[in-house]
A and B are shown apart, each in its own frame.
Chain A
């Protein structure tokens, strides 16, 4: 986004953008700030596409009966909404943050592999195109849910193959990006920037990147097996040839559960920067935050089958995965307590980033608690694949990851663009998003408990009232995001100039050592951190 400013503002004579101008500059750029900007805009576009699909879903669910679409198309929408939001919106937005922030926060001139960085980004638009194209194939996009369970995948048309290739590309992009991030953090820190002095955002990304390197290839394996089952006569998930459909679920969730933390951890990192800044007080329990993050990451590899309590595991399996899952509550609790303790006896102000951080804290905790409820086998068996689960993971992913992303954008937007956003509008955006979000998802807890399964295009009459409220919330939340776009564009074009350090309590290198906006190349001579 800063780059857009630079395009209109050639007064910064020392800024040079490589050999190209216009569109070629963006295609060939190897600058971490440019690439960060590309990631952020890309994720916003995908967020809009996925959001439109969500509005389509909620439109159909506004009333019982089939009004606007046939159930097949409804299934395609739920599938693509999930895939696009997870892989196209939430993951890239945090990679965007990583690109912008990590080099500036650890005092490095750029990412370790600048050209690789460019490639990792430019895989994404191709993957996104494949996903969207699948709608226009005969038979449409796959209607199998984002989890792509076998053997339903075998019944799908060409759209399924496009989706599988898209997942491969997305996975490749994430793995390359993660290798780059790990290398940058481990090898390129400024002198004196020891690991335990790194801002927590950098720490959470380091751990996330390791999770990505370990988990994404497993997903690639699962979808590759699906592909060969579909076309090359293998029978990994086909009982006829000695395979097992449940095996797919095991492999998928071996990836899928770490994926949940891949989405959540960078958000934790952002929140751990924002809360101390607006409390004007150092983060409470820095070391325990790092250990808790690492603990969550490690436990995430041994809890996958809690997504599968109803497949019929032996009782020992159910108990093992239940105990392991309950264990996650301990480090997660430590994090929440630390954030609250950071605020305790601080000197608090409530600008938009802080509001989003508080919204995150309150509602992510709520999502964490419903997660604890779901970790218990008997209750989960009652709630599995109902709207309770939908409500739970949207509290974690939207109120968790998305709110953290908004907090981060409002927090760093002045640094990136050199201009302040409109505080009043920002607060409006927060309150509208908060209210409509809860309107959509809080009532879905009730729906799930009362017995409404997820992924259905039509529902019994007793679920009508909550569905109406939920749908109205969805339309409202959609509109609120138009306000967000307006705020960002207005900031870039005509925001008030921002000072080097607009937030009194912010103390990482980008605020203390770099002007606002930071020049195109920063830290070519690395700072010495004491």
Chain B
């Protein structure tokens, strides 16, 4: 038994070595894409060299003693046990080295906290388990969307091969213009989260009920990926952050598309959809927003995550379910989903009402819109 386990472990290692060829083995900071990340990288290298020199220095004494002052080669122990000069020196010299280190670091700390005069201000809200982005000020003001993990459940559960950006892909990326100072205001709706993009050197906790801020300026166009870094419950591993920095012209174009999308959503509110159309769209919304807790089977994971299959609310009056989905249920993992469009909500509610044996009719966007009042 033991042998077969060992073989499987070795096989796994060999497989990972093979896949390692496709994925460069990451062992150092991601390539910096902002001056802040670059400064952090440089500071780290300087510190590592200082440490390495001291480390090698101290331990060459230790290993030399281990070699030359062995009893087995007949070394007799000296009996000294103090030396004021030496003791004073090795207290004062490290203190001086620390002062030398502290100076450049302090400058970076002050730069890091300076969130004044941004070109673009974005509010980031952490939810269990997704991110909400609101463009507060600057070009694109008024744009608002949520950003949810885009990796399909099948890949996570091992039923499908994992894609290149496994767990680091979202449906809506935070799009920002290259070279502009972006101030990020963080807050959270439920528990503490933390927003982090390693390549941009920006990390800030998102605290429920309070605002905090940080900033970044992407120097090159590109897609930068990070993850939530403060334990926030069950799906902590599944709320990535993706920032796409694009040239200014492209950014303007994106803002236009976003605005058009928003007005289309407003149109959808007055349209009436067929049941099949709602269910198929709802399935996608469900997969992005609901499946983690309520499961693909609709059976949930009681008691924390109740089942939808056969649920009294799902099979009951439409209004109650719409209200619950819009407003959430306080102090449970059921969050408000009012950031989704009326059409999306109508679709996902219709999907739950017509799946897993539920047969409870359809909900149209206009009905959801009415309940928002």
Interface residues of B in 21-39 (CB under 8 A from A): 23-30, 36-37, 39
Query: Does A480 sit at the interface, judged by CB under 8 A?
Result: no
Interface residues of A in 304-323 (CB under 8 A from B): 310-312, 314-315, 318-319, 322-323
Do residues A341 and B86 form an inter-chain contact, with CB atoms below 8 A? yes
Q: A280-B71, A369-B51 are in contact. Are A312 and B212 (CB under 8 A)?
A: yes
Do residues A71 and B16 form an inter-chain contact, with CB atoms below 8 A? no
Instruction: Give the distance in Å from the alpha carbon of A378 to the alpha carbon of B20 in the complex.
Output: 30
Interface residues of B in 66-116 (CB under 8 A from A): 66, 69-72, 75-82, 86-87, 90-91, 94-95, 98, 101-102, 105-106, 108-110, 112-113
Query: Does A394 sit at the interface, judged by CB under 8 A?
Result: no
Instruction: Give the distance in Å from the alpha carbon of A349 to the alpha carbon of B73 in the complex.
Output: 10
Query: Does A196 sit at the interface, judged by CB under 8 A?
Result: no
Q: Mark B99-141, 1 if CB is under 8 A from A, else 0.
A: 0011001101110110000000000000000000000000000
Q: Out of B27, B58, B212, B230, name the residue touching A365 (CB < 8 Å).
A: B58
Do residues A149 and B157 form an inter-chain contact, with CB atoms below 8 A? no
Do residues A149 and B231 form an inter-chain contact, with CB atoms below 8 A? yes
Q: Which residues of A contact B246 (CB under 8 A)?
A: none
Do residues A453 and B156 form an inter-chain contact, with CB atoms below 8 A? no
Do residues B29 and A62 form an inter-chain contact, with CB atoms below 8 A? no
Query: Does A214 sit at the interface, judged by CB under 8 A?
Result: no
Give the segment of B160-168, B171-179, B273-281 that binds chain A: B160-168
Do residues B28 and A346 form an inter-chain contact, with CB atoms below 8 A? no
Query: Does B331 sit at the interface, judged by CB under 8 A?
Result: yes
Instruction: Give the distance in Å from the alpha carbon of A284 to the alpha carbon of B61 in the complex.
Output: 15
Interface size, B (range): 35 or more
Do residues B26 and A70 form an inter-chain contact, with CB atoms below 8 A? no
Closest to A346 in B: B77
Do residues A376 and B43 form an inter-chain contact, with CB atoms below 8 A? yes
Q: Which residues of A contact B361 (CB under 8 A)?
A: none
Do residues A67 and B65 form an inter-chain contact, with CB atoms below 8 A? no
Closest to A345 in B: B78
Q: A376-B105, A379-B44 are in contact. Are A464 and B192 (CB under 8 A)?
A: no
Give the segment of A118-126, A171-179, A180-188, A328-336 that binds chain B: A328-336
Do residues B191 and A381 form an inter-chain contact, with CB atoms below 8 A? no
Q: Which residues of B contact A70 (CB under 8 A)?
A: 234, 301
Q: Out of A65, A239, A318, A337, name the residue touching B158 (CB < 8 Å).
A: A65
Most buried by A among B91, B214, B231: B231
Q: Which residues of A contact B158 (CB under 8 A)?
A: 65-67
Do residues A318 and B231 form an inter-chain contact, with CB atoms below 8 A? no
Q: Which residues of B contact A285 (CB under 8 A)?
A: 81-82, 87
Query: Does A228 sit at the interface, judged by CB under 8 A?
Result: no
Do residues A71 and B236 form an inter-chain contact, with CB atoms below 8 A? yes
* Nearest CB of chain A from residue B62's CB, rounded to whole Å: 5
* Nearest CB of chain B from residue A331's CB, rounded to whole Å: 8
* Nearest CB of chain B from residue A85's CB, rounded to whole Å: 17
Interface residues of A in 214-256 (CB under 8 A from B): 238-240, 244-246
Closest to A239 in B: B209
Q: Which residues of B contact A72 (CB under 8 A)?
A: 234, 301, 304
Q: Which residues of B contact A468 (CB under 8 A)?
A: 12-13, 16
* Nearest CB of chain A from residue B278's CB, rounded to whole Å: 30
Closest to B113 in A: A315
Q: Mark A281-295, 1 if CB is under 8 A from B, else 0.
A: 111111110000000
Do residues A282 and B23 form an inter-chain contact, with CB atoms below 8 A? no
Do residues B87 and A334 form an inter-chain contact, with CB atoms below 8 A? yes
Q: Mark A442-456, 1 if CB is under 8 A from B, else 0.
A: 000011011101111
Q: Out of A152, A281, A459, name the residue touching B233 (CB < 8 Å).
A: A152
Query: Does A98 sit at the interface, judged by CB under 8 A?
Result: no
* Nearest CB of chain A from residue B228's CB, rounded to whole Å: 7
Q: A66-B158, A310-B203 are in contact. Are A283 and B28 (CB under 8 A)?
A: no
Do residues A462 and B231 form an inter-chain contact, with CB atoms below 8 A? no
Instruction: Give the distance in Å from the alpha carbon of A460 to the alpha carbon of B333 in the complex.
Output: 25
Chain A at the B interface: SS class: helix
Instruction: Give the distance in Å from the alpha carbon of A373 to the alpha carbon of B70 in the complex.
Output: 34
Do residues B333 and A152 form an inter-chain contact, with CB atoms below 8 A? no
Q: Mark A464-475, 1 if CB is under 8 A from B, else 0.
A: 111011001001
Q: Which residues of A contact B80 (CB under 8 A)?
A: 284, 345
Q: Out of B91, B209, B231, name the residue touching A145 (CB < 8 Å).
A: B231
Q: Which residues of A contact B328 (CB under 8 A)?
A: none
Query: Does A506 sit at the interface, judged by CB under 8 A?
Result: no
Instruction: Give the distance in Å from the alpha carbon of A475 to the alpha carbon of B8 in the complex.
Output: 14
Q: Which residues of A contact B101 (CB under 8 A)?
A: 326, 376
Q: Which residues of A contact B12 (CB under 8 A)?
A: 62-63, 468
* Nearest CB of chain B from residue A239's CB, rounded to whole Å: 2
Do residues A378 and B90 form an inter-chain contact, with CB atoms below 8 A? no
Query: Does B339 sit at the interface, judged by CB under 8 A?
Result: no
* Nearest CB of chain A from residue B11's CB, rounded to whole Å: 11
Instruction: Give the distance in Å from the alpha carbon of A63 to the alpha carbon of B12 in the complex.
Output: 9
Closest to B111 in A: A378
Do residues B166 and A460 form an inter-chain contact, with CB atoms below 8 A? yes
Do residues B28 and A449 form an inter-chain contact, with CB atoms below 8 A? yes
Closest to B230 in A: A385
Closest to B198 in A: A451
Q: Out of B16, B87, B192, B237, name the residue touching A151 (CB < 8 Å).
A: B192
Q: Out of B69, B234, B331, name the residue touching A344 (CB < 8 Å).
A: B69
Interface residues of A in 12-51 (CB under 8 A from B): none
Query: Does B9 sit at the interface, judged by CB under 8 A?
Result: yes
Do residues B69 and A336 form an inter-chain contact, with CB atoms below 8 A? no
Query: Does A507 sit at the interface, judged by CB under 8 A?
Result: no
Instruction: Give the distance in Å from the alpha carbon of A285 to the alpha carbon of B84 in the complex.
Output: 9
Q: Which residues of A contact B333 (CB under 8 A)?
A: 155
Query: Does B303 sit at the interface, judged by CB under 8 A?
Result: yes
List 19 A-B residue pairs with CB atoms under 8 Å apart, sorted by A's residue number: A64-B162, A64-B166, A143-B234, A239-B209, A286-B82, A311-B205, A322-B102, A330-B91, A330-B94, A348-B66, A349-B72, A369-B54, A373-B51, A377-B105, A381-B112, A453-B196, A460-B167, A460-B168, A466-B27
**Nearest 8 interchain pairs by C-beta:** A239-B209, A312-B212, A450-B26, A456-B237, A446-B27, A347-B77, A345-B78, A385-B229
Q: A residues within 8 Å of B by Cβ?
A: 62-67, 70-72, 75, 138-139, 143-145, 149, 151-152, 154-155, 157, 238-240, 244-246, 279-288, 310-312, 314-315, 318-319, 322-323, 326-327, 329-330, 333-334, 336-337, 340-350, 358, 361-362, 365-366, 369, 372-373, 376-379, 381-382, 384-386, 446-447, 449-451, 453-466, 468-469, 472, 475, 505
